[in-house]
Amino acid sequence: IADNLRQIIRDGDTIQVGVGQPSQLMFLAGAFDDAKHLGIHTELGSPGLAKLWARGIVDGSKKTLFPGKSVAVAWTGCDGEDLKIIAGNPAFELHQHDIILNPAFMSQNHQMTSINSAIAVDLLGQIASEDRFGGHMVNGTGGQPDTHMAAAMCKNGRAITVMRSTAMDGTISKVVAKHEAGTLVTIPRYLADTIITEYGVARLLDKNHRQRAEELISIAHPDFRAELRREAQELWG
């Protein structure tokens, strides 16, 4: 997943990374190692975040808001080495959530790029990040809708969703034809942008239903692609 994400991260991106899995692992997994002049504007920290500043990958030099600074609501989620780098460091700042997570404000960043996780995505691009297949809620929305909207509003922004292709030891596809009844949709289809699994990158923006289905089936686990194609055929012919 990190390898696929690395292919689309641009020099100068201002990034937000959600605390879910697998998004929170992207710093340590090397997703940003090839980039230059990254900025941080995020809700919470993640392991490895501050180490990118120490390595010179993050410098905030292209940021529109808080240039030269990495900003968050809290650095919760960073590991011990990160916190040692952050402590007393003027390059890292904390601000109120109504500033950091205000989509109208956040979207003013240069190349705002949100990276969040999902539990499942249907073939329309509806992203479910709160419940486990059928309304069994496991967490709230957190800042995902705010950061996703900010990236969608930003000129040259990108709203990225990362997830594994399967759950339950490979027995369940996380790309589904239709969500189960009662599923809580976190991000509606009209805001869906880029979905990444270990099998590739699906670009949904400005695509019709059939095109979205083709994109998403291409990044589903191979064991489930034939069934997803059959279900897509039933839905749209």
| Residues labelled as active-site residues | 43
Cis bond leading into 67, ω under 30°?
no
What is the distance between the terminal CA atoms of the chain, rounded to a whole angstrom?
31
Query: Which amino acid makes up residue 29?
Result: A
Q: In a 3-state reduction of DSSP, which class is residue 90?
A: coil
Whether the CB-CB separation of 109 and 41 falls below 8 Å is answered with yes
What does the DSSP assignment read for 30-87? TTTTT--SBEEB-SS--TTHHHHHHTTSB--TT-SSSTT-EEES--TT--HHHHHHHT
